[in-house]
Structure formats: structure tokens, C-alpha cells
């Protein structure tokens, strides 16, 4: 619901047992340039303000978030209650779980958050499972979606056709200008995705992260993909009053968070 002032709640066909949301920059205590609801503890904001923001946001979720250290890689961490305390700060760019009460969380400020959920866990042997993915261009090029989906299918004992996806806000296709390195990396992963990277100057291109992700998810067998359709409404760089944007604010900004969990 894009008119919610504090967070976005996915509109997608999931079980009532699934909770999910993406924070905006509104509703916290951080001061400029991290105003207001900065949830990133590595961006130079006052640690006390970040702690207040995280506590306030987690309280609204009603579950325990696990905060990872993202490195633009492809590792998908399985979250369990028994290992919860040791998983805070682990290096990973995706998280998944089949246990209720644990929130899979990724931080974003231009990169694309992707939420996954098992659509129907009523079949024999299938477990309810959820996952959150931090998908920037490096993750997309190197396989973070594929790696996470494989892990979620394994842990839930299901297949991609029984999984539904939702894409959150990210930098949009009119703002994400990239150089040759990014263009070649994306094209090298899947030459068919070149249609989501259009030339702007002889050595620069505009990349559509959400379009790339939608196409990748469909190719992997996920038919039900919702959320970010690459419209300007979803663009973190254009919507300065709602979203943090690393590129727009030249690296001096906060972080939003996307979370998904199984309700107890």
C-alpha cells in the first residue's frame, strides 16, 4: 500500500500466516541526512538513534528480526531459533526460514528487496517457508536469486511453481545509470536480459533492476510475481520524501529494511 506513511505492506496472494513489510524513511528519530527511520547501523548515523529506530520498527513487526551484514554476495542464510543469537551480523545477502517468529530482513537504499513465500503449504510434506533477498546488480549478476530460491525449495520441500514473489522499491530504470562493467556482468549472466539495459551514452546504460528480477524469477519457474513494476512510484531515487537513496544522496543516507516472517 503505497499510501502508508511508515511502511509498505505487500499486496500478494499469500497465506494469512505470512507477515511482510518494507519500511520507508518516515517515522523514526534520526537526524539529517539520515532522517528519519534509518535502520542501518553502518552508515555513520548516531548509534543510539539507530537502536531506537530498530526497536520501534521491530516492535511494530511483533517478531525478532535478524540483522545480517550484507556484502553484495549470493549467500542465503537459513535462520533458526536455536542459532538466532549467533546469526546477527553474519555475512549474507539473503535469509530464509521455515520457523515462525523469526523475521528475515534485508537493508536497502537503491538495491532491490525481493520477498519470497511458499504459496501453499497444505500439501503433504511441504513446510511453510519465507525468504528475503538483497538484490543489487552484483547479486543479480552472480546468482543471489537462484541461490536463495534453491535453498528455500530445499528447506520447504517444494518447487518454484509453489512460491510467490514480491518486489519492493529500488532505484528505477530512468535513474540507475551504469558503466561497461555492470552492463557486461548482467549480459554475461543472461544475454536475454539485455532488453532491460538500454544505452544512454556510448559507454553508459540505464538498467532496470526490477525488470531484470521479474524476468529472472519467471525464468526460474515463479509465475506469481507482484509489487515493483518499474514505475516511477517505486523509484528510490525519485521519491526523496519516502525513500532513502544511496545514489541520489551520494552515499550519505540511511537504510530501509524489508522483512518477511511466518506468524506464530
User: 120 pLDDT exceeds 90?
Assistant: no
Which stretch of 8-17, 118-127, 141-150, 161-170 has the lowest confidence by average pLDDT?
118-127
In angstroms, the Cα distances linking 125 to 25, 148, 154, 156, 163 are 40, 20, 12, 8, 15
User: 2 pLDDT exceeds 60?
Assistant: no
User: 189 pLDDT exceeds 80?
Assistant: no
Torsion sign, CA atoms 145, 108, 49, 100: negative
The predicted pLDDT at position 125 comes to 76
In angstroms, the Cα distances linking 44 to 2, 71, 160, 183, 243 are 28, 17, 39, 31, 18
Confidence of residue 184 (pLDDT cuts 50, 70, 90): confident
Mean pLDDT for the stretch of residues 54-67: 91
User: 161 pLDDT exceeds 90?
Assistant: yes
User: Domains in the chain, start-ordered, CATH in brackets?
Assistant: 7-172+223-262 (3.60.140.10)
The predicted pLDDT at position 248 comes to 97
Mean pLDDT for the stretch of residues 121-133: 86
Confidence of residue 236 (pLDDT cuts 50, 70, 90): very high
User: 212 pLDDT exceeds 50?
Assistant: yes
The predicted pLDDT at position 190 comes to 64
Strands 94-97 and 130-135: antiparallel
The predicted pLDDT at position 251 comes to 93
- Return the C-alpha cell found at 206: 540505464
Helical segments of 16-134, H only: 47-61, 84-87
The predicted pLDDT at position 202 comes to 84
The predicted pLDDT at position 1 comes to 33
Query: Is the bond preceding residue 36 a cis peptide, omega within 30 degrees?
Result: yes
> Cβ(114)–Cβ(169) under 8 Å?
no
Mean pLDDT for the stretch of residues 32-55: 96
Mean pLDDT for the stretch of residues 89-104: 95
User: 5 pLDDT exceeds 60?
Assistant: no
- Return the C-alpha cell found at 42: 553502518
User: 191 pLDDT exceeds 90?
Assistant: no
pTM metric for this prediction:
0.94
Burial class (CB in 10 A: 0-12, 13-18, 19+), 256: buried
Q: Cβ neighbours of residue 76 under 8 Å, at least 6 residues apart?
A: 92, 93, 94, 95, 96, 131, 133, 144, 147, 148, 151, 152
Mean pLDDT for the stretch of residues 208-220: 95
Confidence of residue 85 (pLDDT cuts 50, 70, 90): confident
Q: In what order do the strands lie in the sheet with 204-207?
A: 177-178, 204-207, 197-201
Mean pLDDT for the stretch of residues 28-33: 97
Amino acid at each position: 500500500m503505497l499510501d502508508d506513511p511508515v511502511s509498505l505492506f505487500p499486496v500478494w496472494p499469500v497465506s494469512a500466516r505470512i507477515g511482510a513489510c518494507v519500511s520507508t524513511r518516515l517515522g523514526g528519530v534520526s537526524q539529517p541526512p539520515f532522517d528519519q527511520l534509518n535502520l542501518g547501523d553502518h552508515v555513520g548515523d548516531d548509534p543510539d538513534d539507530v537502536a531506537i529506530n530498530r526497536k520501534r520498527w521491530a516492535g511494530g513487526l511483533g517478531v525478532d528480526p535478524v540483522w545480517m551484514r550484507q556484502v553484495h554476495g549470493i549467500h542465503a542464510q537459513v535462520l533458526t531459533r536455536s542459532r538466532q543469537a549467533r546469526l546477527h551480523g553474519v555475512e549474507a545477502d539473503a535469509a530464509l526460514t521455515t520457523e515462525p517468529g523469526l523475521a528475515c530482513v534485508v537493508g536497502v537504499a537503491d538495491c532491490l528487496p525481493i520477498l519470497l513465500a511458499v504459496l501453499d503449504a497444505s500439501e503433504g510434506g511441504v513446510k511453510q517457508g519465507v525468504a528475503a533477498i538483497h538484490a543489487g546488480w552484483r547479486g543479480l549478476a552472480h546468482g543471489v536469486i537462484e541461490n536463495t530460491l534453491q535453498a528455500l525449495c530445499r528447506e520447504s520441500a517444494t518447487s518454484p511453481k509453489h512460491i510467490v514473489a514480491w518486489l519492493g522499491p529500488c532505484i528505477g530504470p530512468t535513474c540507475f545509470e551504469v558503466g561497461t562493467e555492470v552492463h557486461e556482468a548482467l549480459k554475461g549472466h543472461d544475454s536475454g536480459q539485455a532488453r532491460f539495459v538500454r544505452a544512454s551514452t556510448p559507454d553508459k546504460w540505464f538498467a532496470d533492476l526490477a525488470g531484470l528480477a521479474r524476468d529472472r524469477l519467471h525464468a526460474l519457474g515463479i509465475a506469481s510475481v507482484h509489487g515493483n513494476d518499474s514505475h516511477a512510484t517505486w523509484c528510490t531515487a525519485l521519491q526523496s520524501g519516502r525513500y532513502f537513496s544511496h545514489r541520489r544522496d551520494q552515499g550519505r543516507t540511511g537504510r530501509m529494511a524489508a522483512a518477511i516472517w511466518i506468524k506464530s
